A and B are shown apart, each in its own frame.
Chain A
Amino acid sequence: MVSQDDTFVEASRGIDDDRRAELTLGALVCLVVLLLLGMVAFVLREAWPSFAHNGLAWFGPGGSVDNQIQAIFTSGDLREAAQYTFHAWPIVWSTILTTTGAVVIAFVSALFVAVFIVEFAPDWLKRVLEPVVRLLASVPSVIYGLVGVLVVVPFIGNHLVTQGEKASVTPVIQLSGYSLLAAVLILTVTIAPIMIAIFAEGLRSVPRGWIEGSLALGVNRWRTYWKIAVRTARPALVAGTVLAVARALGEAVMLSMVSGSVGFAPNPADGLIFLFEPSRGLAATIIRNTEELSSPPMKHTLYAIAAVLLFSSAMLSLIGWAAKRPMKRYLVAGGSP
């Protein structure tokens, strides 16, 4: 039995509870936000010396990256004038190549596979494929790397690269199977399931009325699906692609296992052989050199690389958000009834 007075007291106590809770939770959220913003600030601060020393040439070519890394590291150890010279182009180029290659192949495949799974596959196949996609999306990248290094790399090294090709580049690099091709293939397999899952979800949420409407006008199933569903699901396509690019950029572990450990920039002008050339991306470079973090110039250089990665992923989020906005114009209904 609650009397008038009791209710009133309880209600006002409720408001106090709420205010306290709101402040506490809000403070916690603030803390998290500050922590993350602080992370960005710290990374940039640690990265600054490397950028300051090299300027824009940081991104440019010039000399062997591996030698530079070695020089930077040893200079820190010997406490000489710290060496900061670093021209990261070969590893930047490697990241661009692997990411672009993997995302393009994965996008096309994921789109068709998603359309297949949602609409055209027979029922029993649909029921099998959906959990398989989800499983593949959650496999740790180190396992993909393991399969890559134990299966794909030897296959490329022993069966795809000819002796002649190997001989032709021996003075510069070794074609042992650790290659751009292996990196792109495994990276594609790593990011495709995520894209398929997001694309399929987007396709499934297309209002049935539009599909029926198009079929009722005499347009065949394929065109209906392609023109209406894929077009409507474009926000999901963008979201999935952005997510996949972010994952591909930051992939350190798997790439360091299959792409080779040489800071070499494969040159497409070399002809098809460039696919077999080893390389190393930005993230992989960091992970390969973590033991050298104790050396200050090395630390600054690695943080500089991390800053580049951080900046790229932030840019990607922004692009994803900006790309979705104009699409809302056609997709959101709104008018006087």
Chain B
Amino acid sequence: MGLSNPPPVRWLTGSAAPAATLREPQIAGQHGNGNGRSPAHGFVATPRRVAPASFAIDRMQVEDLSVSYGSKLAVDSVSFPIRQGEVLALIGPSGCGKTTLLRSLNRLTELTRTASLTGRITLDGIDIAAMEPTSLRRRVTMVFQQPNPFPMSVFDNVAYVLREQARRRPKRAALRAAVHEALARAGLLDEVSDNLDHPALRLSGGQQQRLCIARALAADPEVLLLDEPCSALDPQSTKVIEDLIVKLREEVAVVIVTHNLQQAYRIADHVAFMYLGELVEYGGVKGIFGAAREARTREYVSGAFG
């Protein structure tokens, strides 16, 4: 795949962008959405992994959400939708509230004593604050930055949720089908199918992370939250997991927090740019990377800061 433009020079100051390499949007206030051109400067042109999403069903809605830790405001009046059928990437520099925002989607912020929320998050129309946290977290599951498989065998890891949520402890034979399916969806089945009793901690980093994804999928969730899942992995494993995420988006709504702008460009359908707790811009991936409305977004995406 040849590049129509050579990789442009990176500018450290965001303001003086040479007109030759930046194409201004024709219509003010509206995002382009796939005009086929390479993205803004500062960016190695990366091919998209797959075609854009074909459908999108609203699953969750964040309405005017603010999260504070004690007196410090971490997330400030954020609103956006989360849809099944597409991947939403939360991008932004470190410490800008992306992880806090992600964790509030499944009420994991409650584990921190000083955290307090205002605003509303709904899942299929129901306020998640009114649900039992345990049932919410089965429908909205999370994969963490550091792979954290439990100190058990591969089978037990994936079967964990199924065993814990059943009325009576199910037999292993009954679970086998569900475990196989979850592992298949996570793209791990081929590699571990010969010995499902292998200790999970002996897998490689990439395999462990896929195991965590399989474990999350075993609960049959509606929304999958991923907190920088590839930051601790090598490029090969990263590629495998990105393919996996794109494949999964039809079945679950995917929200991924990532530092890696190229990754966001590769796999996301919508992008939300967070800066210092504020949602600076939300839009389609081509728009954000090609012709963002806000100056700050353009600067971040072009590498002026981060």
Contact = CB atoms under 8 A, between A and B. Distances in A.
A217 B201 contact: no
A216 B106 contact: yes
A231 B164 CA distance: 15
B135 to A, nearest CB: 7
Contacts, number: 82
A261 interface: no
A227 to B, nearest CB: 7
Interface in B105-157: 106, 108, 111, 133-139, 141-142, 144, 146, 148, 150-153
A207 B203 contact: no
A231 B152 CA distance: 10
Contacts of A138: none
B165 A218 contact: yes
A209 B151 contact: no
A232 B138 CA distance: 23
Interface size class of B (residues with CB under 8 A): 35 or more
Contact of A209 (B136, B146, B234): B146
A215 interface: yes
Interface of B: 106, 108, 111, 133-139, 141-142, 144, 146, 148, 150-153, 160-161, 164-165, 199, 201-205, 207-208, 212, 215-216, 219, 234
Interface stretch (A1-9, A286-294, A329-337): A329-337
A217 B213 CA distance: 11
A207 B141 CA distance: 20
A240 B165 CA distance: 32
A337 B204 contact: yes
12 contacts: A209-B146, A212-B108, A215-B108, A215-B137, A218-B136, A218-B161, A223-B164, A227-B160, A333-B201, A335-B202, A335-B203, A335-B204
Nearest to B110: A215
Contacts of B108: 212, 215-216
B280 to A, nearest CB: 27
A220 B201 contact: no
B150 A216 contact: no
A251 to B, nearest CB: 35
A223 B160 CA distance: 11
A210 interface: yes
A210 B151 contact: yes
Nearest to A220: B134
A231 B144 contact: no
Contacts of A331: 151, 201
A167 to B, nearest CB: 52
A212 B201 contact: no
B201 A334 contact: yes
Contact of B144 (A213, A218, A332, A333): A213
B137 A217 contact: yes
